């Protein structure tokens, strides 16, 4: 069995966030993104793209979708709801979607 992912320190999280426009750190430490898309169809397309990335990387965000608004939250539950390299990898992949 693989070891649980290790939490990143604040400096590593801040450095990762600097490479992901639109992402922020919530008060509880999670990586978060809020996007308002041009239409509901665009929002669900974005959600589908995020889902495909999540499946490919084997790490899944918490997701909320309402009409044109999409909210994502990333933490690693196996690391005590902390941010790990898994969260950063998914965040950067999502950021690359544009």
pTM of model > 0.85: yes
Output the domain CATH number for residue 88: 3.30.1360.20
pLDDT at 73: 98
Tell me the per-residue pLDDT of 17-32, one tens digit each, with 9 for 90 and over. 999 999 999 999 999 9
Q: Report yes or no on 33 lying in a domain.
A: yes
- Tell me how far apart the alpha carbons of residues 52 and 47 are, in angstroms, rounded to a whole number: 9
Residue 1 has pLDDT above 70, yes or no: no
Per the structure, the count of domains in the chain is: 1
Distance CA 77, CA 36 (A): 27
Residue 46: inside a domain:
yes
Domain extent, residue 43, equals: 23-95
Identify whether the C-beta of residue 92 lies closer than 8 Å to the C-beta of residue 13.
no
pLDDT at 3 over 90: no
Q: How confident is the model at residue 2 (pLDDT cuts 50, 70, 90)?
A: low
pLDDT in tens, 30-62: 999 999 999 999 999 999 999 999 999 999 999
């Amino acid at each position: 069995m693989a070891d649980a992912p290790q939490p990143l320190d604040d400096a590593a999280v801040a450095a990762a966030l600097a490479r992901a426009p639109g992402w922020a750190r919530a008060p509880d430490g999670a990586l978060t993104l809020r996007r308002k898309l041009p239409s509901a169809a665009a929002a669900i397309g974005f959600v589908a793209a995020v889902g495909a990335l999540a499946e490919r990387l084997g790490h899944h965000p918490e997701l909320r979708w309402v009409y044109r608004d999409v909210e994502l939250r990333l933490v690693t539950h196996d690391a005590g709801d902390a941010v790990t390299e898994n969260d950063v990898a998914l965040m950067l992949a999502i950021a690359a979607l544009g």
